[in-house]
Amino acid sequence: GCRYLLTDYSGKLYLLVLERDKRNGSSSTTITDIKLDLLGETSMCEYITYLDNGVTFIGSRFGDSQLIRLLPEPQNGSHLEILESYTNLAPIVDMCVVDLERQGRQLITCSGNGKDSSLRFIRTGIGIHEHASIDLRNIKGIWALKIDNHYDNHLVVAFFDQTRLFHLQNDEIEEVELSGFDFQHQTLFCANVISDQYLQITTHSIRLIGNNGKDLLIEWKNEQNEITVGSSNTTQCVCASGNQLFYFEIGRSSLTEINKCKLPYNIACLDVTPLNPQEERTSLCVVGLWTQISVWIYRLPTLDVLHKEPLTSDTLPRSVVMITFDSQPYVVISLADGPIVYYLLDTEQGILYERKKVSLGTKPTTLTVCQRTDLSPNSTSSSNDPSTQRTVLFACSDRPSVISSSNTKLVFSAVNLREIVCMCSFHSEYYGASLTLVTDMGLILGRIDDIQKLHVRSLVLGEPARRIAFMEEEKAYIILTQYMDIFRTDNITPISKQAHQKIDCTTTIKNINDIIPPSQNDVIDSIVILDQHTHEARVSVRLLNREEALSVCVITFADDLSSSYIAVGTAIIFEDEDTPKVGRVILYRYKSGHLNMVTEKELNGAPHAMLAFQGKLLIAVGSSIRLYKFSPQNHELIQLTQYLGHIDCLQVKIKDDFVLFNDLMKSITVLRYNTDEGKFEEIAHDVQPQWTMACEFFDDDTFICAEDGGNLISCHKDSGSTKENERNVLKELGLCHLGENINVFRHGCLVTQQTAESSISVDTCTLMGGVSGYIGLLLQLTPSLYQLLMSVQLALAEYVPSVGKIDHGTWRSFESDGRSDVSCGFVDGDLIETYLDLPKSVQQDLIIDLRGENNTQINATVEELVKIIEELARIH
């Protein structure tokens, strides 16, 4: 009871010891001394919870929460060891969505505060941790072999007309030639088979190799034709030559041809993977055919055709795999133009049923089976959990994906790599479980992250970033940062001080020069330009004392299309004023690494937001919305028009010639810019006084706004109405309590549209970022889909037990200061997705008597509904 843990502002952890005088006995103790020892540095800490055995949880609001162990003896000058760190995005102050070439999208958030500030790069899908890479081009196939070892230590790499063998020892790689292997032909398949033998199928022959690869035991050749495809498990081997199918059994030094048959068309792909990974044999073989695009199921060893399934596709199957997910056997077929078709397989009858199709990439997709343990070896907590032993399927294409199953549905998770030609799992002694991935640039040996999670990387800034903008031309991020002296630490240099080029910003505006204090301030605002790829600070601009940067945008002016500019809005902020009285817009030109200040313009308020609008600069200054044009001759900004009459316009959004803004307390207003007259016209506004935080367009007539109490409001503009008072008043369509304060809305979603036949359009997807680090996705539903999902939601809300017995309707009902209303117009995706996890019978029961508006019957089948919800689940 006399040792305490303390932290300060900057996350330094101290141990406070009260030394007691024990002489007086236990009844009364006198504190004789206080000692304070520095233990080390953690994240900026909000809560400390001492667990046990020197392990302490550090709960952080602005940085990653940490699990630390206190060490009795210092290591590297610190008395603590960080055991685990939990990603925390809070608070998301601003974010932007950036398209990456052919690799989906990335969301960049400005997170954290003080020394724990960071930019977070968020992507869906799975990240790759690269261990090593080999520069090899034109690889056609790759297989791992265990030669004289329990771990994979050799890689067989197939090229168009030759094969090479590499030996990996520790982190060294060397090419070897083992005499048993054929290096003159392209290898089609290679694997370890029973009795420590190796099977190599080349275009020329099938070779059974023993004695650690030195001796060729048996070779089988097809005299007439080349072998076109081949596959095996440890005891069985199939290969095809044109339209001929051969079946072999592998024994100790024996390769026996058991059966063969002739098919009407050439064989494109085949597979004999045992459905149960523990078994060595399978009684089924799947074959994909050319010309008559179909898959056939054969019974082994008799080669009887059990089932013929036409693929109803114009392109041929590229690879076919039998695999068991959650004890349900599947046959997965990839087609040459990208999509994947999968069926459930009846192992007894050999019949395929329940066809589903998902499109992944646009190029031929190759499927490879991997054990899940290869993928996430570090999931230490659940290593004994059989679920981690599951197999997964790796689809190599221009949009590589991992196919796994969760609650008996297949989950497709994209891998964040550009293009993968082929891959194999490689369990090496040195790297642990890993994968070899072949791209068009070479070969990567690496480990991949956990499946189906947002992939977050963080860039420590050391000072909070307030706003972010992306400049496409220069591939750079522009961030506005604020350095505060009280959060100073010795370990982290703020990003603005790391910049290669440092500029001080001055002003010629008299009003500003008059009021800024000359002395050095403990708060310094900067504009920092970061490189998109290296994340290095290229340029930083230090603003004036007391000047704070509030908004930024990248703009190309209509009067000067030659180059794009960076506009930054700032305000001079004194604590004793109600609102900032003076501010300015600074215009920079940034080209090939050089930043030049072009002009500045005085403002009489705080520029809360700015945007490029029809080649002009749109700024929300205090209570007005103003439009500026740039005159390239005089290098100055000229105010064209303004719209007045609100309190403080916080955010502004544009769509075509419409301008949407939200006011501090007067909800949202829609303006139209009349190009002929050069003026703003008020189109419609929400009459309710609403303390808003952010707003966004959904489409021309639908808008969303986030409220201070953690509520969302969607509004609709009735532009077709004949009555003027209906036309210029926004109708509230939906009200919903989100429980999160939203700082920012951005259009876009992290997943690019996958399925061609998907019924859901992701055009209206809007991401939202909240104070608590919350990232949400909003999607506009069609009326019929809304009716269906809303009635499902009502049924689910009654069935699914809620957390803490808080009724779903009560929790989602709109509740703000002085106003409460029932929730409407919003469907809760989290609740809807729980439908997928329910047992089939319950799923059926829930939708028996669905009623929509006006008590109309809604007819839906479980299959349709599951398909819709799966599609919805796939976009996030």
Q: Residue numbers of the site for other proteins (CB under 8 A)?
A: 61-62, 90-91, 93, 113, 464, 466, 548, 550, 571, 573-580, 606, 608, 623-624, 642, 644-648, 650, 664-666, 677, 679, 685, 687-689, 691, 693, 708, 723-725, 729, 741, 743, 771-772, 817-819
Please say which residue, 149 or 810, places its beta carbon nearer to other proteins: 810
Q: Which residue has the tokens 């068009």?
A: 440
Cβ 330 to other proteins shortest distance, Å: 46
CA distance 456 to 468: 17
What burial class does residue 121 get, using C-beta atoms within 10 Å of its C-beta: 0-12 exposed, 13-18 middle, 19+ buried?
A: middle
Could you give the CA distance from residue 598 to residue 541 in angstroms, rounded to a whole number?
14
Shortest gap between Cβ of 144 and other proteins (angstroms)?
Answer: 49
Q: Which two tokens stand for residue 312?
A: 């109803």
Q: In the complex with other proteins, which residue's Cβ is closer, 455 or 717? A: 717
In the bound state with other proteins, the residue whose beta carbon lies nearer, of 77 and 818, is 818
Task: State the minimum distance, in angstroms, from the CB of residue 576 to other proteins.
Answer: 8
- Asked if 312 contacts 341 with a C-beta cutoff of 8 angstroms, the reply is no
Quote the CA–CA distance of 684 and 672 in Å, as a whole number: 9
Q: Among 240, 246, 249, 247, which Cα is nearest to 268's?
A: 240
Neighbours of 307 (CB within 10 A): 21
State the Cα–Cα distance between residues 572 and 872, nearest whole angstrom: 46
Q: Please, which residue, 746 or 876, has the CB nearer to other proteins?
A: 746
Task: Using the minimum distance from each CB to other proteins, give the nearer residue, 497 or 819.
Answer: 819
Nearer to other proteins, 95 or 293 (CB): 95
To the nearest whole angstrom, how small is the minimum distance from the Cβ of residue 395 to other proteins?
A: 41
Which among 395, 273, 260, 393 has a CA at the least distance from the CA of 335? 395
Read off the tokens for 778. Answer: 């909003």
Answer yes or no: are the C-beta atoms of 436 and 423 closer than 8 Å. Answer: yes
Smaller CB distance to other proteins: residue 33 or 817?
817
| CB 113 to other proteins: min, Å | 6
How long a stretch of residues is the chain? 876
Residue among 23 and 723 whose Cβ is closer to other proteins: 723
Q: How many CA atoms lie within 13 A of 353 on its CB side?
A: 6
Closer CB to other proteins, 632 or 645, in the complex: 645
Nearer to other proteins, 646 or 876 (CB): 646
Tell me the C-alpha distance between 399 and 405, whole Å.
Answer: 19
For 642, half-sphere exposure in the C-beta direction (CA atoms, 13 angstrom radius) is 16
C-beta of residue 376 within 8 angstroms of C-beta of residue 451: yes
Contact 67, 82 (CB under 8 A): yes
- Look up residue 827 and give its amino acid: V
The three-point CA angle 188-266-187 to 5° equals: 5
Structure-block tokens of residue 133: 């890479």
CB of 691 to other proteins, least distance (A): 5
| Cβ contact 307:289 at 8 Å | no
- Supply the minimum distance, in Å, between the C-beta of residue 20 and other proteins: 38
Give the shortest CB-94-to-other proteins separation in angstroms: 8
Nearer to other proteins, 573 or 868 (CB): 573
In whole angstroms, the minimum distance from the beta carbon of 519 to other proteins comes to 19
Smallest gap from residue 346 Cβ to other proteins (A): 55
Nearest to 248 by CA among 259, 262, 234, 233: 259
Nearest to 339 by CA among 320, 358, 367: 358
* φ and ψ at residue 62, rounded to 5 degrees: -110, -5
Q: How far is the CB of 628 from other proteins (least distance, A)?
A: 15
Respond yes or no on whether the N-terminal peptide bond of residue 464 is cis (omega within 30° of 0). no
Q: For other proteins, give the closer residue by CB, 131 or 666.
A: 666
To other proteins, the closest distance from the beta carbon of 499 in angstroms equals: 23
Query: In a 10 Å sphere around its CB, with 0-12 CB exposed, 13-18 middle and 19+ buried, how is residue 310 labelled?
Result: exposed
